[in-house]
Amino acid sequence: MKIFIKFDFSAVCRKVLEDKLIKHQIKHRILGFGEVELLEKVSDAKFAELTQELREYGIDIIENQKSILVQKIKDTIIEMIHNPDLVNVKSSVYLAEKLGHSYGYLSNLFSDVTYTSIENFIILQKIEHAKQLIVSSDLSLTEIAFQLNYSSVAHLSTQFKNVTGITPSAFQRIIVKRREMANKK
């Protein structure tokens, strides 16, 4: 038997992080997605143990300042894409204002560290979100395109196909077929 699940990646990460910090009795405050303030000095041994346990869940503690800023850029982009109130906000302006650096600086840093552009990362995240919406909601492609601030379904379809190799319609058909096959078992 197969089951289909829907989950909120941020909520899962936050819960794992919270549980591990409590387990190790580390006083902390979660400031936002991907950012935690430790309210006390943590021994090297305890920190190493926490780091190892978090790594088992695919959560890494970042210590390099450039990598920290790149992670903040990624987190901010993901926040923008998943927040319907930010759908019409220009990403370059939002990133610059939220992170307190010029967009040019953020863009160059991001490219230097990740070997891809912010724009490409945004496209990848939008397509991932579109796939989530196709799988977990009853929204039409027009509604999904609107929700992700695409000018048209054709624009969404072009980017979707460039990233995944198939159209969103074909992706929808695959999901429907898999569900039908799973229900027959």
Q: Judge whether residue 171 has pLDDT over 90.
A: yes
Say if residue 148 is in the same domain as residue 84: yes
- Whether 98 is covered by a domain: the verdict is yes
Q: What percent of the chain has pLDDT over 90?
A: 44
Please give the DSSP secondary-structure letter assigned to residue 38.
E
In this prediction, residue 12 carries a pLDDT of 83
Say if residue 90 is in the same domain as residue 156: yes
pLDDT per residue as tens digits for the range 141-167: 999 999 999 999 999 999 999 999 999
Local confidence band at 15 (pLDDT 50, 70, 90 cut-offs)? confident
Say if residue 120 is in the same domain as residue 44: no
Say if residue 37 is in the same domain as residue 84: no
Structure tokens at 161: 């196909």
- Whether 3 is covered by a domain: the verdict is no
Say if residue 164 is in the same domain as residue 94: yes
* Strands (E) located in the chain: 28-32, 35-38
- Whether 26 is covered by a domain: the verdict is yes
Q: Which of 35, 55, 75 is the last residue of a domain?
A: 55
Please tell me the distance from the alpha carbon of residue 92 to that of residue 43, in angstroms, as a whole number. Answer: 40
Closest by CA position to 120, among listed 94, 91, 147, 145:
91
Say if residue 69 is in the same domain as residue 117: yes
Residue with tokens 């993901």: 78
Say if residue 101 is in the same domain as residue 43: no
In this prediction, residue 93 carries a pLDDT of 93
3-state helix vs strand vs coil in the chain, percent to 5: 65, 5, 30
- Whether 60 is covered by a domain: the verdict is no
Please tell me the distance from the alpha carbon of residue 75 to that of residue 66, in angstroms, as a whole number. Answer: 14
Local confidence band at 1 (pLDDT 50, 70, 90 cut-offs)? low
Closest by CA position to 68, among listed 78, 76, 57:
76
pLDDT per residue as tens digits for the range 100-140: 999 999 999 999 989 999 999 999 999 999 999 998 888 89
- Whether 2 is covered by a domain: the verdict is no
Say if residue 109 is in the same domain as residue 146: yes
* Per-chain mean pLDDT for the chain: 88
* Residue-by-residue DSSP string for 59-109: -----SHHHHHHHHHHHHHHHHHH-GGGTTS-HHHHHHHHHTS-HHHHHHH
Say if residue 74 is in the same domain as residue 38: no
- Whether 50 is covered by a domain: the verdict is yes
Please tell me the distance from the alpha carbon of residue 29 to that of residue 178, in angstroms, as a whole number. Answer: 42
Enclosing domain of residue 168: 65-184
Say if residue 76 is in the same domain as residue 121: yes
- Whether 4 is covered by a domain: the verdict is no
Other beta carbons within 10 angstroms of residue 56's beta carbon come to 9
The CATH number covering residue 89 comes to: 1.10.10.60
Which residue did the predictor score with more confidence, 5 or 146? Answer: 146
Say if residue 34 is in the same domain as residue 82: no
Say if residue 112 is in the same domain as residue 31: no
Least confident residue range of 5-14, 17-26, 134-143: 5-14
pLDDT per residue as tens digits for the range 37-48: 888 888 888 888
- Whether 18 is covered by a domain: the verdict is yes
In this prediction, residue 126 carries a pLDDT of 94
Domain count, the chain: 2
In this prediction, residue 183 carries a pLDDT of 80
Instruction: Give the pairing of strands 28-32 and 35-38.
Output: antiparallel
Rounded to two decimals, the pTM is: 0.69
Is the Cα dihedral 173, 179, 180, 185 positive or negative?
positive
Those residues whose C-beta lies under 8 Å from the C-beta of residue 14, and which sit 6 or more positions away, are 30, 33
- Residue 161's Cβ-side half-sphere holds a number of Cα atoms within 13 Å equal to 10
